[in-house]
Amino acid sequence: MTRIAHIELDDGNLPPPTPEIEQERRVAMFDLMEHNTFELPDRDGRPVPPGPYNVGLSIRDKRLVFDVTTESHDKAAEFHLSLSPFRQVVKDYFQICKSYFDAVKTLPPSQIETIDMARRGIHNEGARILQERLEGKVTVDDDTARRLFTLVCVLHFGG
């Protein structure tokens, strides 16, 4: 039961997302709920509360906060990550996404494919950074890291 059963973004204080950002969010959340790996490691010899887990993602005091509870809402973990390592890759990701959304409207498929490959590369880099930052706190697979990175971008959009 090492998975996320429910995820919630604390985006109430953020400006309304663009339709494209909202679509990215919906797809990431749907895909995340379909399949994910989220495993909390043992800490200081204490047993880890069993999953599946509810995860709250928010930005507080310029830090990315993961608030993890069990399905019965018992606290399982909370960790705070600096947003600094994400700043450039999030900026690059938004720029390439804008290029992609613009290209879809006017450019031929071959050019759209080139932009999409670049977008996937930046997305993979963001997921890699997230996995590194989560090391020792939680283990996630590559697909879960990619989807969580998308949600970090959604939160970063307004933050």
pLDDT digits (tens, 9 = 90+) for 101-118: 889 899 999 999 999 999
Phi, psi of 139 (to 5 degrees): -105, 125
Residue whose entry in the numeric block shows the structure tokens 């930046």: 122
Mean pLDDT of the 18-36 span: 90
Q: What is the mean pLDDT of the chain?
A: 91
| Torsional class of 151: left (φ above 0), alpha (ψ -120 to 50), beta (otherwise) | alpha
Phi, psi of 119 (to 5 degrees): -60, -45
Per-residue pLDDT at 159: 46
Whose CA is closest to 52, among 109, 106, 5, 102?
5
Three-state SS annotation for 91-124: HHHHHHHHHHHHHHHHCCHHHHHHHHHHHHHHHH
Per-residue pLDDT at 42: 86
Read off the pTM: 0.90
Count Cα atoms within 13 angstroms, Cβ side, for 122. 21
Give the start-end residues of each E strand in the chain. 4-9, 38-39, 53-60, 63-70, 75-82, 139-140
Per-residue pLDDT at 1: 74
